[in-house]
Amino acid sequence: MSDTEHRQRDRERDGGRHHGARIRAAMRAAGQGAVLSVLSLVVSLFLFIVAVVSIALATVGIGLYTTPWVLGLVRAHAAHRRRLARDWYGVAIRSGYPPEQPARAGLAGNPVRTLDLLRSPATWRDLEWLLLDATAGFCLAVLPLGLLADGLFGILLAVGLWEPISDATGSYWYAFVPVDSQATANLAALLGLLWIGLALRFGPTLVRTHFTTTRLLLGISVKQALTRRVEHLTETRHDALDTSAAELRRIERDLHDGAQARLVAMGMNLGTVEALIARDPEQARKLVAELRENSAETLNELRDLVRGIHPPVLAERGLGDAVRALALRLPMPVETEVSLPGRFAAPVESAAYFAAGEALTNAAKHSGAQRIWLEAGYRAGDRMLRITVTDDGRGGADPRGGTGLAGIERRLGAFDGILAVSSPAGGPTVVTMEIPCDPAG
């Protein structure tokens, strides 16, 4: 076989593969469209009606209790659609719900939640989307399958189906073609072929369009996202500045009242020793011993202060060994599992270290735990440094109750890090800290 023949065959095979891919894509789009049309016409419409009724009933009271539940379903439905958009067509739809306000748990908190939800623009946009989804969204979704089915029907008419149908109904309209003879039936078949052609050509595009219109209402715009980001940055920057200013004040006070005062006292005593050394050597020796004790205490104080500013192990060994050393300092066994790819930027290491320290101290002091587990790891995939502290204590830790956990949250916030606490009554308590970052060097 010559080269030309080879190439010829390749081209034919390519062409065949191309057609095959197109048909498969159209069939897939038809299937996806079928799923979406049920979701949009049945589920969205149903949820829209229920939500509107529930909100209307809020004026007479019942709605105040049902609305959070109904809107929860709406959000779940919307989240499902976002997921489909991403999984099927890679259309990213950012959800833009405001962070949940802490509210009383249980049924009693529901009226408060309802009012919060009704004030949120995101709620109203969800409802608009339900309506759009049940109309335009449904049309876009149903077309890929509808065109294929209707086109097939047109061809069947030409094959012979036209006779019994026109016999039964007198005149039958296929789109704009009155089918009453083989000739008009052939015309219908031609039109059917056109429908099928359209479905093959535009099926996936239609489903994609369904998702992009969904994004119009369900997603937040780049501008909105940026606005949120700026708000978040402003807030965390203020927090970070406040925290570091408070830290500096604390260090200043500690030095002023501690080491500085002690050194002054030691200087004075040295003067006394100088005066006494000839006259009363015994008394002078006593003072010198006292001075030595004092200087040791000063060092201890400075050591604690240094540990609070930047722990020496952290400087010498990095985060992994620093949290190991931290675990060894606790008066109970702590199982540590550390797998980190090396060092991180100093501020990140410091924030993570103090966060882990606070979590460990809390577990040791307040939980009544017998055992504590600490895990520190880094996932390169999403650039996430994660530290988990678990204890088998009594649980019930409230991240908003103590200042400690709130402090960690602020500290991590400056690095876009987050703190999650799971602490059901009876335990166990799991504190998870995550900071997005890259290993340094």
Partner 1 sequence: MRVVLAEDLFLLRDGLVRLLRAHGFEIAAAVESGPELAEALTRLRPDVAVVDVRLPPSFSDEGLQVALRARRERPGLPVLVLSQHVEQLYARELLADGSGGVGYLLKDRVFDAEQFVDAVRRVAGGGTAMDPQVIQQLLARHTGGSPLERLTPRELEVLELMAQGRSNAAIAARLVVTERAIAKHTSNIFTKLGLPPSDDDNRRVLAVLAYLGRR
Phi, psi of 373 (to 5 degrees): -120, 135
SS3 at position 390: strand
Q: Which residue, among 42, 37, 32, 72, has the nearest Cα to 54 in the 3D structure?
A: 72
Kindly tell me which of 232 and 303 has the beta carbon lying closer to partner 1.
Answer: 303
Q: Which residue has the tokens 């715009």?
A: 221
User: What whole-number distance in Å separates Cα of residue 272 and Cα of residue 333?
Assistant: 49
Minimum CB separation from partner 1 for residue 290, in Å? 12
User: What whole-number distance in Å separates Cα of residue 228 and Cα of residue 219?
Assistant: 14
Minimum CB separation from partner 1 for residue 296, in Å? 5
**Positions in the binding site for partner 1 (CB under 8 A):** 292, 295-296, 299-300, 303, 306-307, 312-313, 315-317, 321, 324-325, 328-333, 370
Element containing residue 305 per DSSP (H, E): helix 281-309
Straight-line distance from the first to the last Cα atom of the chain, in angstroms, rounded to the nearest whole number: 57
Which residues does residue 336 pair with via DSSP β-bridges, in sequence order? 374
Neighbours of 411 (CB within 10 A): 23
Give the tokens for residue 52.
């509107």
SS3 at position 394: coil
Minimum CB separation from partner 1 for residue 307, in Å? 7
User: What whole-number distance in Å separates Cα of residue 323 and Cα of residue 26?
Assistant: 56
